[in-house]
Amino acid sequence: MVVDVIVVGGGPAGLSAALILGRSRRNVLLCDDRQQRNSASPEIHGLLGSNARSPAQFLQNAREEVAGHETVLLRRTRVTKIDPSDGAFKFACADGTTGIAAKVLLATGLIDELPELAGIEALYGISVHHCLYCDGYEYTGKRVVAYGKGDKGADLAVMIKHWVKDVVCCSDGTEVSEQAVTRLRQHEITLRKERIQSLEGPGGALARIHFESGSGLACSGLFFSTGCRQASDLSTHLGCKRDEKGGIITDPATEETSVPGVYVAGDASRDVLLVAVAVGEGAKGAVAINKAFLRRDGLCD
């Protein structure tokens, strides 16, 4: 198969790029293995005109919209390899598809590292979160826990205070510096240093934290600050430069990486991690790719 662009990843960034490329009459193969980052969440918040739609519904509508363009092919598969080849890129997928693409757009996203807490899986995305911009607003008037080891939980707790008045900091059996304790006191935030035994709540709604000490804490939500990593190593294999956070470095005007012809959109660059930004970066990368083709064909400067 020979295409103008292979888009790797079919979250908001990849689908947005495929939409604009399809509307630019470019031949596109979009491959996605459907592990979108927010799939555990029931609602997307903060997306203009689409607030509170479920991620599954959003993606289903987006796929249908993109698939309506005759030059775009969507495949549910993982891209396993991309190699530079004679000014283009050879690719291979887990379902056996192989081919050549003139340009590559990586929209492969990130994977979150969840805290190791018993009971977290059933609550994650519903009442246990990592992003205040996504979910902080919903907790006005409720009690929220800021979870993080060492000073991380304390830093998060102080920030949450802007969104929610009733915040408790849990350091899960780890020590917190004197400086952080002072800051917590200044902001009237309670610190619980006991090790957490489990999280509990019906139907995904956190209701109580149980400590190993035997005591408990009633609360409605928990925000954590751990880390995340790239969901794909294709950019490493291609030699794209990364920043100190592990984000793939891109040109802010074009989304092109340090490897000419390879573009990145969405969370993989670790800029602002929101659906709206992923959609925007996908569109921006697609326009830059189309302009590069127009220049190649002598149709623009």
Ligand X SMILES: Cc1cc2nc3c(=O)[nH]c(=O)nc-3n(C[C@H](O)[C@H](O)[C@H](O)COP(=O)(O)OP(=O)(O)OC[C@H]3O[C@@H](n4cnc5c(N)ncnc54)[C@H](O)[C@@H]3O)c2cc1C
Binding site for ligand X (CB under 6 A): 8-14, 31-38, 40-41, 44-47, 78-79, 107-109, 112, 125, 131, 134, 231-232, 234, 266-267, 273-276, 278
The residue among 203 and 298 lying less far from ligand X, judged by its C-beta, is 203
Query: Would you say 158 and 143 are in contact if contact means Cβ atoms under 8 Å apart?
Result: no
Q: Min. distance of Cβ 34 from ligand X in angstroms?
A: 5
State in angstroms the smallest separation of the CB of 296 from ligand X: 26
We find the least distance from the C-beta atom of residue 206 to ligand X, in angstroms, to be 14
Q: Give me the least distance between CB of 77 and ligand X, in Å please.
A: 7
- How does strand 128-129 pair with strand 110-113? unpaired
Residue (132 or 181) nearer to ligand X, CB: 132
Q: Which is nearer to ligand X, 128 or 176 (CB)?
A: 128
In the complex with ligand X, which residue's Cβ is closer, 184 or 206?
206
Any idea which residue has 């990849």 for tokens?
14
Closer CB to ligand X, 91 or 211, in the complex: 91
Shortest approach of ligand X to residue 171 CB, angstroms?
23
Find all residues with CB under 8 Å of 3, minimum gap 6, and list them: 27, 28, 29, 73, 99, 100, 101, 102
Per DSSP (E only), the strands in the chain are: 2-8, 28-31, 72-75, 79-85, 88-93, 98-106, 110-113, 128-129, 143-147, 166-170, 190-192, 196-200, 208-211, 216-218, 221-224, 227-230, 262-264
**CA neighbor of 54 nearest in space, from 65, 43, 39:** 43
